[in-house]
Amino acid sequence: MSFKKTLVTAGAALSTLPSLALAQNQVNMSPGVTEIGAQIYDLHMLILIICVVIGLLVFGVMFYSIIYHRKSRGVVPSQFHESTKVEIAWTAVPFLILVAMAVPATSTLLEVYDNDEAELDILITGYQWKWRYEYLDTSGETVAFFSNLATPQEAIYNTEDKGEHYLLEVDEPLVIPVDTKVRFLVTANDVIHSWWVPEIAVKRDAIPGFINEAWSKVSEEGIYRGQCTELCGAYHGFMPIVVHAVSRQEFDSWMAAKRDEAVSELAAVGMEMSLEALMSEGEAVYNRQCVACHGAAGEGGVGKAIAGSAVALGDLNTHLDIGIKGVVGTSMQAFGNQLSDSEMAAVITYQRNAFGNNTGDVVQPADVAQHRKG
């Protein structure tokens, strides 16, 4: 075991050399901030080093031959071409090396699969193209929210500078407590996605109609970033994951604040909002939820144009229907369970009054609530 440790340490030391020279250009897997992540990293380094050693031996022999057994050196080719003993040896030895690799791989895998006794359960649902997190906790108001890409379209299309966390930033991160076994229940709403955060060593496919389990116990507070890793349509590259690992106290107070928020949201149902308030919130919602498909100026793209569209200029009920229920068989999903009444009211108002759609219609949260009831 100590030999293995030495190898791993040597390899780790080697692998940090280039990364020191090229600060941004990480060249190796990160051991991350979980025990499993560190185990996987060790396993990765062990196998990498075994491969490198075997590779050096094999290529060494080959290059020796290339240099010394050249026709141009006047060598007379030997004609040997068979040896059962040698064949048996190079079948058996690799087999034994594989067995040696399989032992640590098996024990790590069994740990990865040990989903029992989690202290916190979080339901993760993949949507085209965002994540929804729900804290499965029976006490109090349910805390659930969507996590959308926060990088502006202008940065993606190069008219604005790209920030440090370009494409790896969200409007609302997942918050988890450190030193706590958190179980992730992963599923999807539409197509298959995959939830991956390298630093916490969790990657699980999010499959519509099935729930997969994974777990993590993060040991260091910090912000950890990841991405969807299963091709899920046009904006697959634009649904990042950000996890904030915080102390237990911080987590509890965050949770309490989220519960209050949920309660006040319910209270806001009867509230009247001004056109200005609706338009400014509507713009924010639009830029988060709609802009990728419908364009920054409502000109359309994957989705239909909103500027001058029959829906945005026509019957309000049809417009609300599409917003809430989506259009079956297209990428236009049902936003009914993704947006609150006030968000829905705001974005519909915005769509009916922006981009030259000057209908003057004002939709209030109460109208949305009424429409939902049918």
Helix/strand/coil for 142: coil
Are the CB atoms for 204 and 197 separated by under 8 Å?
no
Residue closer to another protein (CB basis): 189 or 338: 189
Residue closer to another protein (CB basis): 27 or 310: 27
Residue closer to another protein (CB basis): 185 or 312: 185
Minimum CB distance to another protein, residue 176 (Å): 18
Residue closer to another protein (CB basis): 245 or 278: 245
Minimum CB distance to another protein, residue 25 (Å): 5
CA distances for 205 relative to 104, 188, 194, 211, angstroms: 24, 9, 4, 9
Residue closer to another protein (CB basis): 77 or 374: 77
Of 88, 135, 115, residue with least CA distance to 259: 135
Are the CB atoms for 347 and 278 separated by under 8 Å?
no
Are the CB atoms for 42 and 8 separated by under 8 Å?
yes
Minimum CB distance to another protein, residue 352 (Å): 27
Minimum CB distance to another protein, residue 217 (Å): 15
Q: Is 201 left (phi over 0), alpha (psi -120 to 50) or beta?
A: left
Residue closer to another protein (CB basis): 292 or 363: 292
Helix/strand/coil for 303: coil
Minimum CB distance to another protein, residue 313 (Å): 25
CB-facing half-sphere around the CA of 300: CA atoms within 13 A: 8
Beta-sheet strand order (sheet of 143-147) = 143-147, 130-136, 120-127, 182-188, 212-216
Minimum CB distance to another protein, residue 61 (Å): 6
